[in-house]
């Protein structure tokens, strides 16, 4: 099939095209807010502590990535539900620490890219604009026709449309698939893609953790590692969660140059839903091995307040940035109930 989806940037950004695609409206925020409201009604028992998120816009904002899901714009076309997303590839500089900065490619001005979320059976449409100075593409894991596989280059200043059915339900990912693929992924062109099952999962405090690495001197070896973009961020800024609250982690390993890593949770065990494609856990563990692009849902609850570490069990990877903490906040309601009884 010819690559007749590629458009010039000028045509993509013309008002007529924007109106045709329905992206010259406030529908994005409205749809996301509606989905969030509807979900909140079914998850009213979930307790989520407030997070301190820096007001300044940065390419890497781990606390914002943690619970930020992009639901796109919901449309109805010819009796079919369409969930439409917009992704723009660009360039940025990330400050890995006080002394080291690194040039990356980003998606919508952030790393990792937006966590896209749809429901099984919906039609997904992704409008992709490349402004990153190099040919790129977006390859989605899942089931779709060959012409939507995202292996054709989209040149700088051009755009394309990817459209396919949201299937199967589970935790997937998307990433650039232009050679050298490893380098394009490692420099930031990746994100998580969640397809929710037809029957919703039980209410939980839901979070995204994406493990990635940074090869800052192009020697095919990572010098730094991170959860959700920044090395050591969650060690210095622990993730607050409530005692006795079910936690649902969507965990993705996108660390290139290392064949596999583990994910380990301190002082607890988690239920494993492999690739998120099941409603019942396959096992219970406190450490799980994940190859590159492997992802799972991990569920757990902490019974005791305090700070608990999470990290890969490869010490060099953890010590160089891929380490964090959960800060479990006492559930005073439960404590008061115990005292009164």
What would the pLDDT profile of 55-89 be if each residue is shown by its tens digit? 667 899 999 999 999 999 999 998 888 999 999 99
Count of C-beta atoms within a 10 Å radius of residue 326: 23
Q: What is the largest CA-CA distance in the chain?
A: 71
Contact 208, 117 (CB under 8 A): no
Whole-angstrom Cα distance, residue 108 to residue 190? 11
- Helix (H/G/I), strand (E/B), else coil: 209: strand
Long-range contacts of 181-186 (CB under 8 A, 24+ apart): 182/256, 182/257, 183/256, 184/105, 184/136, 185/254, 185/256, 186/212, 186/213, 186/214, 186/215, 186/222, 186/256, 186/257
Per-residue DSSP letter, 64 = H
Whole-angstrom Cα distance, residue 132 to residue 111? 14
**Cis amide leading into 266 (omega within 30):** no
Question: Each residue of 2-56: pLDDT tens digit?
Answer: 344 444 443 344 434 434 444 433 343 344 444 444 444 444 589 999 887 766 6
Question: Each residue of 111-154: pLDDT tens digit?
Answer: 999 999 999 999 999 999 999 999 999 999 999 999 999 999 99
Residue 268 has pLDDT above 50, yes or no: yes
Contact 158, 88 (CB under 8 A): no
Tokens at 246, concatenated: 């079910």
Whole-angstrom Cα distance, residue 179 to residue 173? 18
């Amino acid at each position: 099939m010819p690559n007749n989806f590629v458009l010039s940037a000028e045509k993509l950004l013309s008002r007529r095209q924007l109106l045709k695609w329905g992206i010259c409206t406030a529908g994005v925020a409205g749809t996301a807010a509606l989905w969030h409201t509807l979900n909140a009604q079914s998850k009213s028992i979930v307790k989520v502590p407030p997070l301190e998120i820096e007001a300044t816009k940065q390419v890497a904002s781990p606390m914002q990535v943690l619970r930020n899901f992009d639901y796109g714009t919901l449309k109805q076309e010819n009796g079919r539900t369409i969930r439409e997303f917009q992704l723009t590839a660009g360039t940025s500089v990330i400050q890995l620490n006080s002394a080291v900065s690194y040039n990356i490619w980003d998606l919508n001005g952030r790393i990792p890219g937006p966590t896209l979320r749809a429901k099984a059976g919906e039609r997904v449409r992704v409008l992709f604009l490349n402004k990153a100075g190099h040919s790129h593409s977006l390859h989605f894991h899942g089931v779709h026709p060959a012409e939507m596989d995202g292996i054709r280059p989209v040149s700088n200043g051009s755009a394309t449309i990817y459209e396919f059915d949201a299937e199967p339900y589970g935790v997937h990912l998307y990433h650039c698939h232009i050679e050298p693929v490893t380098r394009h992924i490692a420099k930031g062109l990746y994100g998580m893609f969640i397809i929710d099952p037809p029957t919703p999962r039980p209410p939980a405090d839901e979070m995204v953790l994406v493990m990635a690495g940074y090869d800052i001197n192009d020697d095919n070896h990572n010098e730094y590692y991170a959860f959700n973009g920044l090395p050591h961020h969650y060690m210095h800024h622990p993730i607050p969660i409530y005692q006795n609250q079910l936690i649902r982690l969507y965990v993705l390993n996108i660390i290139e140059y290392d064949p596999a890593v583990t994910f380990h949770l301190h002082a607890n065990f988690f239920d494993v839903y492999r690739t998120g494609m099941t409603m019942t856990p396959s096992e219970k563990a406190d450490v799980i091995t994940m190859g590159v692009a492997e992802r799972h849902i991990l569920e757990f609850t902490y019974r005791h307040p305090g700070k608990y570490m999470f990290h890969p069990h490869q010490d060099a990877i953890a010590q160089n940035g891929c380490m964090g903490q959960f800060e479990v906040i006492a559930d005073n309601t439960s404590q008061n109930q115990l005292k009164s009884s």
